[in-house]
Chains A and B, each alone.
Chain A
Amino acid sequence: MLAALGVFALVEAARLRDGWQGARLMPAVVGMVLVALGIAHLGLPAAPAAAAVGMEARRRVLAMFSTLALYVAALPVLGFLPATALFILILLAWLGEFSWPVTLGTTLVVAVASHVLFQRWLGMPLPSGPFGR
């Protein structure tokens, strides 16, 4: 942890190349603070085993996060409607213990509703993907 903070501090020190005392002021101050805090971390009691979290739980969190990340990555590729549908489907099927009709039904409703609401009605320029108009 302290290593990370120390690195950050050094990053600004390097960036201080930008501009003069105007733009450099805050980054310099923040940099110094970070270094100081990084050192202060040495005085902290040893971190409790990052809150005993089971492997199972960790895997769940990672899975959810990756699904989310993939969804975001898929948006420009697949377009909003299909990507969202897929995303909701995967999450519902995995997380919930709903019957198939409920899962599929909800997915459809959510995906279509959000498409209509946000893309059509509010006109947000969400990616349309290959199927989009």
Chain B
Amino acid sequence: MDTVGLLLQGFAQALTPQNLLFALLGSVLGTLVGVLPGIGPTSGIAILLPLTSFLPPTPAIIMLAAIYYGAMYGGSTTAILVNVPGEVASVVTTMDGYQMARQGRAGPALAIAAISSFVAGTLGLVGLTFFAPPLADLALRIGPPEYFGLVVLAFSVVVSMSGPSLVKGLSAAALGALVALVGLDPMSGVRRFTLGTTTLLGGVDFIAVIIGLFAITEALLGVEQRVGAVALARLGRLLPTREEMSRCLATMVRATGVGFALGLLPGCTPGAISFISYDVERRWSRTPERFGRGAIEGVAAPEGANNATTSAGFVPLFALGLPATPALAVLLSGLMIYGLQPGPLLFEKQAAFVWTVIASMYVGNVMLLVLNLPLVGLWAQLCRVPYAMMAPLILLFSVLGAFSVRNSLTDVGMALVFGALGYGMVKLGYPTAPLVLALILTPMLEQALRQSLGMSHGDPLILVTRPGAAVLIAAGLTLTAWTLIARHRR
């Protein structure tokens, strides 16, 4: 049990006052950064990386990791309070989280997000601690055909997200798929759907779409309905009831499982994973109708999955040097600046360093919980701010957020377009979730498909002859069929 010994040593290091301070600082900064729409963990880490260059390696990495976790949490705060997801992974949180806020239950929603994140993140770290090298090895065996199967599985979620009208849901998804295809084809460099302009060459930026679809649409709806404030009702209790907590316990474990397992695969984005986890939770529940209307498990699941994914993302990062998300890529460059050489030998040659970082991630998780639970009350009060004041602020941040991704006003324009689109969609009864999901999944699907075809020199049968892929595709189709039947019965 060499591992445990090393981990304890790591804790000894991580718990020094100096390192604790930086973990705290990172958590706070990360949360602040995550709260701002559009400025997600990636930009946050990138912006704050130079700040850490003054520090010796260990505190610097500790701080960066804390920022990462913090940013993931911050994104959920705004998702719950004002239906504005701070980053991709928080999109799913808006679905039940915001509804809870409108019912005056922002407190429990925020609290469960914090708690679930903590539990899942910690459990994920345990997984990381004990299983890092073998898991990395396993993750490598996943090839393009298996990925394709995985994405097919994820797409089955679209069907269940379609709401009352399947045609509308699918149309939204198809629209999302179309939008995802705009721009330069990543594999052949061919221009697609750019309508002869150069502005669309870079494709439609994802964050701009989310900001438009969620923040701006919500603001427009708010104005239309003359919303007084997000939650006019008296704010109820700040913490979830004991009964809710016990229900969510199982949720958190499930979410951790899903999030961790899928998070190990480089290329599986937290956004897609949170959708899947939400769907898993909904299917498991005996009362699925509650989801989408403020079911507390609907917040616990994606939040937990996010953090588990974050923890899992470190496995390929440390063991193979493969960043699973852009944020991790920036983190990786930070790590390398400090002399960290990811790879199988990492755990042997630089053990002390790695375990200190891992230990401080545990600490970071605890810290976030401690920091945020008391603040829940404060955040929840934001729901009562008059909408007249919130709306302009939301719009301002939307503009800033959309701009900040690529420093381009075009993206802001894009956000506006999607804001209008979102409004139209809501008014006409088209669900927006499938659009977002399709937007996330289509590039993955395309890449997996084309790579698979490349591997088999054009033979589509490769998708069914490889066991892993076949199983996943079958699972996806079964799930879809099952959902369709269930809908029919209703």
Contact at A72–B416, with CB atoms within 8 Å? yes
Known: A57-B224, A68-B216, A72-B416. A23 touches B388 (CB 8 A): no
Residues of chain B contacted by A50 (CB below 8 angstroms):
427-428
In the complex, per-residue mask of B322-342: 1 if CB is within 8 Å of any chain A CB, else 0? 000000000000000000000
Interface-side segment among B8-16, B177-185, B246-254, B264-272: B177-185
In the complex, per-residue mask of B161-201: 1 if CB is within 8 Å of any chain A CB, else 0? 00001011011001101100100010110111100000000
Contact at A60–B224, with CB atoms within 8 Å? yes
Residues of chain A contacted by B219 (CB below 8 angstroms):
64
Contact at A96–B416, with CB atoms within 8 Å? no
Min C-beta distance of A16 to chain B, whole Å: 10
Known: A26-B181, A72-B399. A61 touches B388 (CB 8 A): no
Known: A50-B428, A110-B396. A26 touches B187 (CB 8 A): no
Chain A CB within 8 A of B53 CB: no
Chain A CB within 8 A of B409 CB: yes
Chain B CB within 8 A of A130 CB: no
A19 and B190 alpha carbons, distance in the complex (Å): 7
Query: Which among A19, A40, A124 is the interface contact of B188 at CB below 8 angstroms?
Result: A19
Residues of chain B contacted by A104 (CB below 8 angstroms):
none
Residues of chain A contacted by B171 (CB below 8 angstroms):
5, 34, 37, 41
Known: A8-B178, A19-B185, A76-B409. A65 touches B393 (CB 8 A): no
Chain A CB within 8 A of B474 CB: no
Number of residues from A at the complex interface, CB < 8 A: 56
Min C-beta distance of B213 to chain A, whole Å: 14
Contact at A91–B192, with CB atoms within 8 Å? no
Q: Which of B405-458 contact A (CB under 8 A)?
A: 407, 409, 412-413, 416, 419-420, 423, 427-429, 442, 445-446, 449-450
Residues of chain A contacted by B407 (CB below 8 angstroms):
124-125
Chain A CB within 8 A of B392 CB: yes
A72 and B212 alpha carbons, distance in the complex (Å): 13
**CB closest chain-A residue, reference B192:** A18
Residues of chain A contacted by B467 (CB below 8 angstroms):
none
**CB closest chain-B residue, reference A29:** B177
Contact at A23–B224, with CB atoms within 8 Å? no
In the complex, per-residue mask of A94-116: 1 if CB is within 8 Å of any chain B CB, else 0? 01111000000010001000100
Min C-beta distance of B366 to chain A, whole Å: 29
Known: A15-B193, A53-B224, A61-B220. A126 touches B185 (CB 8 A): no
A23 and B167 alpha carbons, distance in the complex (Å): 27
Min C-beta distance of B170 to chain A, whole Å: 6
Residues of chain A contacted by B52 (CB below 8 angstroms):
none
Query: Which among A30, A87, A96 is the interface contact of B174 at CB below 8 angstroms?
Result: A30
Known: A22-B450, A95-B391. A61 touches B409 (CB 8 A): no
A128 and B279 alpha carbons, distance in the complex (Å): 46
A76 and B399 alpha carbons, distance in the complex (Å): 13
Residues of chain A contacted by B181 (CB below 8 angstroms):
26-27, 30
Residues of chain B contacted by A84 (CB below 8 angstroms):
396
Chain A CB within 8 A of B403 CB: yes
Contact at B170–A37, with CB atoms within 8 Å? yes
Chain A CB within 8 A of B386 CB: yes
Q: Which of B357-385 contact A (CB under 8 A)?
A: none
Query: Which among B167, B391, B423 is the interface contact of A40 at CB below 8 angstroms?
Result: B167
A23 and B183 alpha carbons, distance in the complex (Å): 11
Contact at A41–B167, with CB atoms within 8 Å? yes
Min C-beta distance of B66 to chain A, whole Å: 19
Chain A CB within 8 A of B129 CB: no
Residues of chain A contacted by B174 (CB below 8 angstroms):
5, 30, 33-34, 37
Contact at A110–B449, with CB atoms within 8 Å? no
**CB closest chain-A residue, reference B176:** A30
A96 and B177 alpha carbons, distance in the complex (Å): 39
Contact at B409–A91, with CB atoms within 8 Å? no
Chain A CB within 8 A of B225 CB: yes
Residues of chain A contacted by B391 (CB below 8 angstroms):
64, 91, 95
Min C-beta distance of A114 to chain B, whole Å: 6
A49 and B227 alpha carbons, distance in the complex (Å): 22
Contact at A88–B446, with CB atoms within 8 Å? no
Q: Which of B203-240 contact A (CB under 8 A)?
A: 216, 219-220, 223-226
Chain B CB within 8 A of A58 CB: yes
Query: Which among B188, B412, B419 is the interface contact of A65 at CB below 8 angstroms?
Result: B419
Known: A27-B181, A33-B174, A72-B409. A22 touches B47 (CB 8 A): no
Residues of chain B contacted by A114 (CB below 8 angstroms):
396, 400
Q: Which of B91-109 contact A (CB under 8 A)?
A: none
Residues of chain B contacted by A46 (CB below 8 angstroms):
none
* Smallest CB-CB A-B distances: 5 pairs: A96-B388, A95-B388, A91-B392, A19-B190, A23-B190
* 12 more A-B residue pairs beyond the given contacts A11-B193, A75-B412, with a C-beta to C-beta distance below 8 A: A19-B185, A30-B178, A34-B178, A57-B225, A64-B223, A65-B420, A75-B399, A91-B391, A92-B392, A114-B400, A124-B403, A126-B403
- List residues of chain A with CB under 8 Å of any chain B CB: 1, 5, 8, 11-12, 15, 18-19, 22-23, 25-27, 30, 33-34, 37, 40-41, 43-44, 47-48, 50-51, 53, 57-58, 60-61, 64-65, 68-69, 71-72, 75-76, 84, 87-88, 91-92, 95-98, 106, 110, 114, 118, 122, 124-127
